Amino acid sequence: MTENLRLPPPAVGQNFVTISALEGGSLTLPKSLFITNADPEKRTTVPSLCFLIKHTSPSADKNKTTKLVFDLGLKRDFSGYTAAQQHHISQRQPTSTSPDTAASLRNGGVKPEDVDVVVLSHVHWDHVGTPSDFPNAKFVVGSGTLDLLANGGGYLYPKELFHHDELPFDRTYELPPVEGGKGLRAARKQTVHKWEKWDGFELDVVDYFGDGSLFVVDAPGHLFGHVNLLARIGVGRWVYLGGDCCHDVRILKGESDVATYSDGCGG
């Protein structure tokens, strides 16, 4: 962690968001996919957490609250994955899908059809969930994601590990490409955001609601189009949602490094 990292101070009348964690299923992976010094024999079952973020605009639309869900976890019905994905998933057992993201929302009194926005950190199988559960949501993904779904991303990210028809394309928008970034081909349909840079912060950010309460962070490395969220939940209180950026606390403590893999099958 960067000790000197200074995040933007609150504005006068600063708006905040609230965050609730949602169970989105679980899967089992070799520990060697997480950290460099793992026991090669050990495996661990991990949750694919998703998050409900609520944002209320005091000035617009009579206190309209936007319900945004970050990541959708695993599909509850594995027949929605391609044959190649199902083969990949057979090496990630045991898995669980109950509750999935939609059920978790309902358990908390939120109807999936009332969700306004779904932001996917990236489109690995264990994060795309069941998009059809959110028939009224706008889907927002990182730049190049639609190209990745259609064509794959080279030998490290083979096409067969993605489902080309995964997202509701009429409601899907990519964030604009980051200036100087090395992404895949950007989609024509993009959100109207603008990437900005902060002093002392290495990654580009987008102010999602335009009021400093929720930032999308460009986080290349795990997969093309990977984005994170940085949420302001109070004065001096932030939550960083990394979506597969860091699977083990030893990485944060400097006791281990991020594991890398060479066959595209890390997810």
Shortest separation between residue 29's beta carbon and Zn ion, angstroms: 10
| 23 near Zn ion, judged by CB under 5 A | no
> Judged by CB under 5 A, which of 124, 146, 157, 162 binds Zn ion?
124
| 80 near Zn ion, judged by CB under 5 A | no
The three-state DSSP-derived secondary structure of 154-176 is: CCCCCHHHCCCCCCCHHHEEECC
Shortest separation between residue 171's beta carbon and Zn ion, angstroms: 23
Burial of 233 (0-12, 13-18, 19+ CB in 10 A): middle
**Of the ranges 102-110, 117-125, 175-183, 206-214, which one interacts with Zn ion (CB under 5 A)?**
117-125
**Of the ranges 57-65, 116-124, 144-152, 181-189, which one interacts with Zn ion (CB under 5 A)?**
116-124
| 88 near Zn ion, judged by CB under 5 A | no
| Of residues 31 and 124, the one with the C-beta less far from Zn ion | 124
Shortest separation between residue 176's beta carbon and Zn ion, angstroms: 22
Number of residues counted as binding Zn ion (CB under 5 A): 3
Give CA separation, 72 vs 4, 12, 90, 130, 142, in Å.
33, 34, 20, 7, 15
| Of residues 23 and 244, the one with the C-beta less far from Zn ion | 244
| 267 near Zn ion, judged by CB under 5 A | yes
Give CA–CA dist 73/26, Å, rounded: 8
Which residue's beta carbon is nearest to the bound Zn ion? 124
Q: Which residues pair with 140 in a beta bridge?
A: 119, 173
**Of the ranges 25-33, 79-87, 119-127, 207-215, which one interacts with Zn ion (CB under 5 A)?**
119-127
Give CA–CA dist 237/175, Å, rounded: 26
State whether residue 140 is helix, strand or coil.
strand
Q: Which two tokens stand for residue 202?
A: 């290495």
| Of residues 223 and 231, the one with the C-beta less far from Zn ion | 223
**Of the ranges 120-128, 159-167, 168-176, 255-263, which one interacts with Zn ion (CB under 5 A)?**
120-128
Prior bond of 112 cis (ω within 30°): no
Shortest separation between residue 266's beta carbon and Zn ion, angstroms: 7
| 67 near Zn ion, judged by CB under 5 A | no
Residues 210-249 close enough to bind Zn ion by CB under 5 A: 244
| Of residues 123 and 187, the one with the C-beta less far from Zn ion | 123
Q: What are phi and psi of 127, to 5 degrees?
A: -125, -15
Shortest separation between residue 222's beta carbon and Zn ion, angstroms: 6
State whether residue 224 is helix, strand or coil.
coil
State whether residue 253 is helix, strand or coil.
coil
| 152 near Zn ion, judged by CB under 5 A | no
Judge contact between 24 and 52, C-beta under 8 A: no
Give CA–CA dist 197/195, Å, rounded: 7
Q: For binding to Zn ion (CB under 5 A), which residues are involved? A: 124, 244, 267
